[in-house]
Structure 1
Amino acid sequence: MSPGSRRYQITGGGYRAELAEVGANLAGLWHDGLPVTVDNPPDALPPKSSGAVLLPWPNRIAAGQYRFDGVDYQLALTEPARGNATHGLVRWVRWTPVRQDASSVTLAHDLVPQTGYPFPLHLEVTYAVDADGLRVRLEAVNTGSAPAPFGAGCHPYLDLGGHDYDTAELLVPAAAMLDTDARQIPTGRRPVEGSPYDFRQLRPIGSVRLDQGYAELTGSVAVLRTEQRTVELYWDAAYRYLQVFTPPSVLPGRNAVAIEPMSCPANAFNTGEALVRLEPGERWSGSWGIRLA
């Protein structure tokens, strides 16, 4: 994470994870000393939002504008090149540890009402490791007096361990993919069948490069396999969408595949698709994890 961000280390079952105070960011996950996710340098910003927690919305809101319960709101444009508000409001705030032991830590943040999102939320993220890998639980409580629009996601990058995309194999259990415009805002969906983006069966990534939203999930486990190992990313029913991203490189000499569990797709604050209406006092929770097969 950036300079001045404290880190919390947890270990268990051969796994070690580091979590950053700023953003409650997954700054790295290792197994027997080898990276499972991209590890963020302690003296730099997370590359390509690696390890970010995305609350109270994942992905993008077109033009940062939305209407909720008859009121129009304008968010800051945090992706100015495309004119979007992206990845929520908590990536650059400090989170407070409220529970910690050798193998787990819970970080909390009280999101205050602000321009564009005047809804107070109490947020917690719990990271835990054991012999079954890393488990991540997000929780949100509406502490205000009015309903709040809400969505959640996380942005882990699975490390390819020095392998290239052409030889790595990928499985994404999804029957549909989201079509997007030039701003990466969804415009519709279509079946993956017959397209280069059909990874319902484990197969080489080959020459396909992805920055693709997936819907109509047919399972709860995605797989990334190299000749060295098989990594699984899994999620519970709170997550109904995935974003899969294969950047040219995350760090110099480091390839990785971002497999991002999301409760709703991009621009859900406008479309309403899978958007959570969090009533006063209501709690939302969702869990996902990473393990070596």
Structure 2
Amino acid sequence: MALDHPPADQLWPRTEPLDAELTAGDARLAVDLRGGALRELVVGDWHVLDGYPAGTVPAGRKGGVLLPWPNRLRDGRWSWRGRDLQLDVVSAGSPNAVHGLVTAQPWHVLAQQADAVTVGTTIEPRTGWPFRLAAAIDYTLAADRLTVTVRVRNAGGEDAPFGAGMHPYFSVGADAPGDVSVAELTVPARTSLVLEGGLPTGERVPFDGAIGRVGDQAIDTALTDLVRDDDGWARTRLSGPAGAVEIAVDGAWSWLQVYTGDTLPADQRRRSVAVEPMTCPANALADGVDLLVLAPGETWSGTWTLGWTPGRV
């Protein structure tokens, strides 16, 4: 019996859904299936993430997944075991390869329930990137906490170097650009990597993580030598009129990038703070600093959590 298929000229690729949505108690999370990003987290009336509308392209890589490298790679150039490689760069005016390859890539729901979802994608070889990686992210939402586990598997036939990161922006009560000045911040790091134009000079300097009130400080800083609690986790704390958040990273994340949004578009500038878990700093593909390498079939994972308490703490 012939199957009843629609005519070929009526077949189109799937364009919905745009998000995977989770709920737990008073918390609602939207994961953008373009890029696998954290698009929105609302607790009651508090937008804990400084997110973006569904179907739009956010400024500043808001909520983004940074694979197979975080941050910048100078001129998009790097070498791996005798091969000189050239990745696409942003523009002639900004000649760097930035934040990996998956920002605009479709991610697929691998498993979902009301308060948890796993999304995944495959990073295929392309110009300047001759490796194949499978990536998955497990998002689990509770009434007072979000747990995020990033997993990477080498799906190719040779050793593959990579770095991982995520780019969430946290809002603690800013209602307008510039309001982040009222926030208070403590970062568990003892060392800062000196940057010029977002790229490392090679110098490292001591860092005092007890920042306190942000005020007029412009922060865009790569931090390492993390101070860890007895359980091995390092905890960043940010508070403001809407409440307090705690961003905790396990031992898989050796770096944090903290950014006060000073170069975002004027209507979004300095209204939230990005605290970015990273396995390596900018330019790591070229410099080799804390670069991860997976043998064929080998896997890596790293977990971070976000906890929140409404009302100033």
Question: Who is 1:174 aligned against?
Answer: 189
Structure 2: which 5+ runs fail to align?
A: 1-14, 229-233
Offset at residue 212 of structure 1 (A): 1.0
- 1:74 aligned onto 2:74: no
Equivalent of residue 240 in structure 1, options 224, 240, 254: 254
Q: TM-score, normalised by structure 2?
A: 0.86
Q: Is the 8 A contact 1:14 1:130 kept in 2?
A: no
Paired position in structure 2 for 1:125 = 137
2:63 equivalent in structure 1: 51
State the distance in 1 between where 2:285 and 2:159 align: 13
Q: CA deviation at 1:15?
A: 1.4
Aligned-pair CA distance for 1:256: 0.4
- Paired residue secondary structure (1:45): coil
Please give the alpha-carbon distance, in whole angstroms, between the structure 1 residues aligned to 2:202 and 2:224.
11
Give the match for residue 165 of structure 1: 180
CA drift of 1:4 comes to 6.7
Tell me by how many angstroms 1:78 deviates: 2.6
Give the alignment partner of residue 209 of structure 1, picking from 203, 215, 218: 218
Q: Which residue number in structure 1 is paired with residue 285 of structure 2?
A: 269
CA distance in 1, matches of 2:260, 2:32: 24
Q: 1:62 to 1:17 in 2, by over 3 A?
A: same
The separation in 1 between residues aligned to 2:91 and 2:166, in whole angstroms, is 18
Shift of 1:81: 2.6
Describe the shift of the 1:287–1:259 C-alpha distance in structure 2 as closer, same or farther (beyond 3 A).
same
Residues in 1 aligned to 2:51 and 2:291: alpha-carbon distance in whole angstroms = 31
Among 279, 297, 304, the alignment partner of 1:281 is 297
- Bigger CA radius of gyration: 2
* Deviating 4+ runs (over 4 angstroms): none
Q: 1:100 to 1:79 in 2, by over 3 A?
A: farther
2: CA distance, partners of 1:233 / 1:277? 26
**Contact 1:47–1:251 at 8 Å: present in 2 too?**
no
Q: What's 1:14 paired with?
A: 26
Q: State which of 141, 165, 168 in structure 1 corresponds to 2:153.
A: 141
The alignment partner of 2:286 has SS state of: helix
Distance, in Å, in 2 between the alignment partners of 1:152 and 1:208 is 27
**What's 2:11 paired with?**
none
Q: Structure 1: which amino acid aligns with 2:259?
A: F
Deviation string, structure 1 residues 139-197 (Cα, Å, up to 9, x no partner): 11001110011100000000132262322100111111111223x2101233335xxxx
Gaps of 5+ in 1: none
- Structure 1 4/86 Cα, relative in aligned 2: closer, same or farther at 3 Å? farther
CA distance in 2, matches of 1:128, 1:180: 34
Give RMSD over aligned pairs.
Answer: 1.8
SS in 2 for 1:239: coil
Residues 18, 55 of structure 2: 8 Å contact kept:
no
Please state if 1:290 is matched with 2:302: no
TM-score (norm 1): 0.92
- Distance in 1 separating the partners of 2:135 and 2:18: 19
Name the CA distance, whole Å, in 1 between partners of 2:203 and 2:180. Answer: 26
Whichever residue aligns with residue 214 of structure 2, its letter is I
